Amino acid sequence: CGVGCGQLIFHKDGKLISIEGDPESPISQGNLCPKGAASYQLLTHDRRETKMKYRAPRAKEWTEIPLDRAMDMVADRVWESRKRTFVHKKDGATINHTTAICHLGGATLDNEENYLIRKLFTLGLGMVCISNQARI
């Protein structure tokens, strides 16, 4: 999130053991907000989805698909929407954007991730509609 509280993350043999506030952090001084305190559950909860799922149009059931296929499906749809709706110029002015694709980031993204998302989507794809759950 935008606050950037300091966390100490402990692991053993590649497995997450605990997450706690970093007492040396000048921002949070060892304290965690509710989101920070729930970080451990975000990564370890038994109901956390870990597989890609797809529901075909008008289908009632979700099916598991490989990550590569899911990424290709998303990339194809984004690229086709961008090609179809991209505006290069309007009334003689250079526009170079699309308003047909939007991005809503989750509240667990940190400032650095949001910065990179903004750069990729505005400069790389010409997207205008970019927001974050933390702002809503």
Residue 96 in contact with residue 88, Cβ under 8 Å? yes
Q: What is residue 8's predicted lDDT score, i.e. its pLDDT?
A: 93
Q: What is the CA radius of gyration of the chain?
A: 20
Every domain of the chain and the residues it spans: 7-44, 50-85, 86-136
Q: What is residue 86's predicted lDDT score, i.e. its pLDDT?
A: 95
State the amino acid at position 102 in one-letter form. Answer: C
In 3-state terms, what secondary structure has residue 111? helix
> How far apart are alpha carbons 6 and 79 in whole angstroms?
37
For the stretch 9-27, pLDDT in tens is: 999 999 999 999 999 999 8
Query: Between these two residues, 65 and 6, which has the higher pLDDT value?
Result: 65
Q: What is residue 46's predicted lDDT score, i.e. its pLDDT?
A: 92
Q: Which two tokens stand for residue 43?
A: 């990564």
For the stretch 45-76, pLDDT in tens is: 999 888 999 999 999 999 999 999 999 999 99
77 to each of 98, 100, 108, how far by Cα in Å?
14, 11, 25
Please provide residue 40's backbone torsions phi and psi, each rounded to the nearest 5 degrees: -60, -45
pLDDT band with cut points at 50, 70 and 90 for residue 136: low
pTM score of the predicted model: 0.69
> How far apart are alpha carbons 108 and 134 in whole angstroms?
8
State the amino acid at position 97 in one-letter form. Answer: H
Q: What mean pLDDT is predicted for residues 100-125?
A: 89
